[in-house]
Amino acid sequence: MLIFIFIFSTLASLYEGSEILNKPWDWKNTAIFSQLANGEVKNTSQVLFWDYFIYAAKFLPFYPICMLISFFLIFFLLILRIKNVSLKISFLILFSFISIGIMFFLSNSPTPGLYLTSIILGIIGTFCILTTFFICRRKKFV
């Protein structure tokens, strides 16, 4: 079920984010990946599909947030299946640092969508840290 939600929300995010092709005035601030790959974006063929996600997260954040949460839950359930406790802890710490790092990067955004996404990433990162502490305490690492 989570995989279905992830796939559906990813496709919905791509669909909603494709609106960036119709708004060239947003390319300067939203087509980040396209600018890294192509320099200045001058036509729609230069806009990469990764920028669809950025646009959707900025202006229509429901499906990108659903995609983010479902990805996290799939990742978390896969991590819990790992038998090696040290590897499990390493993945949780890595994912928490990535989530919190992206959260700090997005938290200064003037758009409510990216600000909300940063809050969700902060919650996910905090949850991973708390889960790591719980696993360590249960296995007597702390």
pLDDT tens-digit series, residues 87-112: 999 999 999 999 999 899 888 888 89
Dig out the tokens for 27 from the structure: 């390319």
Contacts of 136 (CB under 8 A, 6+ apart): 89, 142
List, in sequence order, the alpha helices (H) in the chain.
2-17, 27-30, 32-38, 50-59, 62-80, 85-106, 112-138
Structural domain harbouring 44? 1-76
Contacts of 2 (CB under 8 A, 6+ apart): 70, 73, 74, 77
Q: Can you say whether the dihedral through the CA atoms of 3, 106, 130, 142 is positive or negative? A: positive
Q: Give the residue from 52, 76, 100 where a domain finishes.
A: 76
Q: What is the pLDDT of residue 96?
A: 94
pTM: 0.85
**Dmax over Cα atoms in the chain, in whole Å?**
58
Q: What is the pLDDT of residue 137?
A: 83
Q: Give the residue from 76, 98, 116 where a domain finishes.
A: 76
Q: What total number of domains does the chain contain?
A: 2
Dig out the tokens for 66 from the structure: 């659903």
The 10s digit of each residue's pLDDT in 24-81 is: 888 888 888 888 888 888 888 889 989 999 899 999 999 999 999 999 999 999 998 9
Please indicate, yes or no, whether residues 99 and 65 belong to a single structural domain of this protein: no
